Structure 1
């Protein structure tokens, strides 16, 4: 479990709780987003801003939204609607991970060749 704890620690400085979440939810949100940490490892904490919010919490149509701002990169947004909050966090994390990886590959040196 040390790997998850390390990823949570890496995200601790980067995640802000937006609408629908309370400070008591921080650990749950960090666990839900922990897989994102390794994809953001190349940036310093001051270059990363993650805001997580939820609308219609605890209702079947609740929607989790994760906004990610990386210095020098476009603003990325991922969302998921699931009745289970943990599943919605996981789905939004997977979508955001895909976007981060796509953005990294677009900016890789092989894509800049004439």
Structure 2
């Protein structure tokens, strides 16, 4: 087992490198963010857009921001930010932050967590 996913890499397909990152860093960034893939697979790939940006590289105010847009109803815009000085640590922090937000969003919208979606006919009867 090689650990290489058989399906196309959703992160590689949908990630846009914005300000501060070089195209030569793309593979390294995609590998760092790879664990987002399984969480995002519950959405159609065309529904997901990712963008990562870096401000003040190697400076005291270095900031990495990872944004995720999921086109569904309601549309989701998730943002994770890290101020870690080491770039690898910052990428891990934004990845983990986005993972938590995706999990929270799924929990809020899944029928098992929402009585109105589970039992639409009985909620209309409630006062």
TM-score by length of structure 1 reads: 0.90
Deviations 1:10-47 (A, max 9, x none): 31111000100111110121112111111101122211
Number of matched pairs: 113
Residues 1:68 and 2:68 are matched in the alignment: yes
Task: Pick 1 or 2: higher relative contact order, CA cutoff 8 A, min separation 6.
Answer: 1
Of the structure 1 ranges 54-63 and 10-19, higher mean CA displacement relative to structure 2 is found in 54-63
Say whether the 8 Å CA contact 2:10–2:37 is kept in structure 1.
yes
Q: Which runs of 5+ in 1 are unaligned?
A: none
- Quote the offset at 1:8 in angstroms: 8.2
Partner of 2:55: 55
Of Structure 1 and Structure 2, which has the larger fraction of its residues in helix?
1
Correspondence 1:1-114 to 2 at 5 A: 2-3=2-3, 5-6=4-5, 9-72=9-72, 73-113=75-115, 114=123
What residue ranges of structure 2 are gaps of 5+ in the alignment? 116-122
TM-score (norm 2): 0.81
Q: 48-57 or 23-32: which moved more?
A: 23-32
User: CA contact under 8 A between 2:9 and 2:37: conserved in structure 1?
Assistant: no
1:111 is displaced (CA, Å) by: 2.4
Bigger Rg, structure 1 or 2 = 2
Whole-angstrom CA distance in 1 between matches of 2:51 and 2:71: 15
Q: Do the aligned partners of residues 2 and 52 (structure 1) sit closer, same or farther apart at CA in structure 2, a change above 3 Å counting?
A: farther
Which residue of the partner structure matches residue 120 of structure 2?
Answer: none
Instruction: Flag as ranges the 4+ runs of structure 1 deviating above 6 A.
Output: none
